[in-house]
Amino acid sequence: MTPVTIEIPERFDRDTVQPIADRLDAAVARGHAAVRIDLSAVREFDSTAMALIVAALRDAKRTGTTVELEGISEPVLDYFSLVSVRHLIEERKPDRQLGFVERVGRGVMPTLHVARDSAVLFARAVRSLVLGPWTGERFRVSRTVAEVSEAGSSAMPIVSLIAFLLGLILAMQAWLQLRIFAAELFVADMVAVSVTREIGPLMTAILVAARSGSAIAAQIGTMVINEEVDALEQMGIKPVAWLVVPKMVALALATPCLTVLFDAVAMTGGMLFGVSVVEINPGAYLERTQESLKLADLASGLFKASVFGTLIASIGCALGLNVEGGPEGVGRATTRAVVASIFAIIVFDAIFVIVLRVGS
Amino acid sequence: MRFLHRERPADPGAGDVEALIDVEGVSTSFGDNVVLDGIDMTVGRGEIFVIIGPSGCGKTTLLRHMSGMLPPSSGVVRIGGESLYDLPEEELDSIRRRMGFSFQHGALLNSMSVIENVALPLAEAAPHLSRDLIDEVAQMKLEMVGLLDAKDRAPSDLSGGMKKRAAIARAIALDPELVFFDEPSAGLDPITAAAVDNLILKLARIFGITMVVVTHDIASAFTIGDRMALLFDGRVFAHGRPEDVQQHPDARVQDFIHRALPRDEARGVDITDYLAKGALR
């Protein structure tokens, strides 16, 4: 059988390669036993043209076609001397298709890993804190104070603003329902109870997760990719005691403090709405508020806030410390820290309220 | 622009070739800080031109001026006779596509795999090509730099030397006429650095690419350079073929290329005397 000859024109480069590629494809695909590529006319040649020849050789190898190259000039041979065509057209194992179970696992496992890493880190932080006096892992007071200031004091303006607006909204929604029963005065009860029990700790924790959880993951993640954490360890400074414990203690303290602020400002907002729109007597509003406030509600709210703060710090630190993949990984860890923290906050809140009946 | 027409001059560096880059009276300052102070130099077509000098002498800034990334405060940069910063943006872009740049730390796009990084310039410049063919070109470039087996890895998983080679593969993705290298051997061990030098020489010899290399690695500069310029404090101190620079009479030039401490800092003692006596072993 005579081989099919494909004559390559003078110009063989990335602007003229496509029609030649189609002809080559057709010749190889039609299963000719031999294809001859005649390069003797070629004057202009570039790496796209070279890639086309490599691709033809690869296809030919697969279909069992013989490819002959004819009239190769010295410079073209020189270009080919830069690469090993045998290495280029070698069969590579295709990526294995994942089964259903594996795909589900790939989706779920990272979440479980975050939970596991955070729990382990929390346990190590508690150990460092409790056994510190014996193991020499000193508790860093000044670093903790700095963290409290960063996560707590600096968050006061935004927490106050959101608390005030939320207080107004809650009072408004309560009033819309309560006026049906001519029970407008109970707006005060409604605001006080819902804020201290649930909305205060929850909203504060979500704000802390967004502000500090992301910052913690970003800061520690950056330190990891800059080898700063390794440097600490090498200098004999325990990263858990130096980095994690101060942040965990700081958030465990700062979140309930911010919650107190949130509760107070939200009730002020509610009262402002009650007094100005619903026209409740300020004295009566305050009295109703006092009546409905229970120390147990406030305490359970603050307890939850403290747990939420610890969760946020554990998750942020764990994601930061396990960062992979350079600066890109830091970005991913930061986002995941916020999402995972908020998820964990809601799950723990549900456990507290429904299973443990905290505050009921 | 196709490379069959490009031939490396028989005696690169002899200065008898047409000038590809012409730098005339380029000065740059950032605020009060004068980085470049009246630079004049020419890079001939097909030669490997090396800019050496100590850290902070303005080498990288000069490279950014030459490659169309940053206009100088004053002075002119001409490529193929065209004043780079007087061109409209589209024409500057079309010149940019005929040049490659290998950044000091690779500057690979982290969200893409190595092969996607190398395929990107071609996919953007030649959208009419089939995806398979573009991938084939990218694989070939990776094979040229010896990185084919790492093609599906993320840039963050590469070692320093591999990142540099991937950056070179991307820089030559469009068969450029001119490639700029910023510190190609910085941070590499001597063997990997020699391999990168060898790659640069091979690409220059076979593709006839004009190369401008900024480095503070003197061994590498004298290995690959056809001509070189030595920069000190934003000025050209020595300019010419490696032999001329080596025999330059200025004491600072001699100190730099022999890696000696400046005499006043060494307090009149030549450190090589110590080494010869074995005192510092």
CB nearest to B140's CB, from A18, A83, A326: A83
A183 with A276, same domain? yes
User: Looking at the domain assignment, is residue A167 inside a domain?
Assistant: yes
A158 with A74, same domain? no
Check if the beta carbon of residue A176 is closer than 8 Å to that of residue A277.
no
Domain boundary among A89, A118, A140: A89
Position A270 scores a pLDDT of 94
CB contact under 8 A, A88 and B156: no
Mean pLDDT of B70-75: 89
How distant, in Å, are the alpha carbons of A49, A105, A262, A320, A346 from that of A252?
Answer: 64, 33, 16, 18, 17
CB contact under 8 A, A328 and B110: yes
Range of the domain at A47: 4-89
A138 with A273, same domain? yes
A124 with A74, same domain? no
Which domain CATH number covers A9?
3.30.750.24
A320 with A269, same domain? yes
Query: How far is Cα of residue A17 from the mean position of the Cα atoms in its chain?
Result: 44
A222 with A193, same domain? yes
Domain boundary among A59, A89, A119: A89
A59 with A113, same domain? no
Check if the beta carbon of residue A6 is closer than 8 Å to that of residue A20.
yes
Residues on chain A touching B155 (C-beta within 8 angstroms): 326
Residues on chain A touching B156 (C-beta within 8 angstroms): 325-326, 328-329
How distant, in Å, are the alpha carbons of A30, B101, B145, B172, B197 from that of B151?
Answer: 31, 20, 11, 16, 22
Residues on chain A touching B110 (C-beta within 8 angstroms): 325-328
A79 with A105, same domain? no
Residues on chain A touching B4 (C-beta within 8 angstroms): 42-45, 75-76
Number of structural domains found in chain A: 2
Among A48, A52, A89, A328, the residue to mutate for chain B (most B Cβ within 10 A): A48
Task: Return per-residue pLDDT of chain A as tens, 360 residues.
Answer: 567 788 888 888 888 888 888 888 777 777 677 888 888 888 888 888 888 888 888 888 877 788 888 888 887 888 888 888 888 877 776 667 788 888 888 888 888 999 999 999 999 999 999 988 888 788 889 999 999 999 999 999 999 999 999 999 999 999 999 999 988 889 999 999 999 999 999 999 999 999 999 999 999 999 999 999 999 988 888 899 999 999 999 999 999 999 999 999 999 999 999 999 999 999 999 999 999 998 888 999 999 999 999 999 999 999 999 998 778 889 999 999 999 999 999 999 999 988 877 655
A207 with A279, same domain? yes
CB contact under 8 A, A44 and B5: yes
What is the Cβ-side half-sphere exposure of residue A351, based on CA atoms within 13 angstroms? 9
**pLDDT tens digits for B7-47?**
566 666 665 677 888 888 889 888 888 888 888 988 888 88
Domain boundary among A89, A117, A144: A89
Distance CA(A125)–CA(A99), nearest Å, equals 39
CB contact under 8 A, A21 and B133: yes
ipTM of the complex: 0.76
User: Looking at the domain assignment, is residue A83 inside a domain?
Assistant: yes
pLDDT reading at B175 higher than 60: yes
User: Looking at the domain assignment, is residue A360 inside a domain?
Assistant: no
Neighbours of B130 (CB within 10 A): 15
Check if the beta carbon of residue B182 is closer than 8 Å to that of residue B102.
yes
Position A243 scores a pLDDT of 93
SS3 content of chain B, % helix, strand, coil (to 5): 40, 25, 40
Residues on chain A touching B143 (C-beta within 8 angstroms): 82-84, 87-88
A188 with A291, same domain? yes
How distant, in Å, are the alpha carbons of A50, B19, B227 from that of B205?
Answer: 18, 18, 15
Q: Closest residue of B to A83, CA-based? A: B144
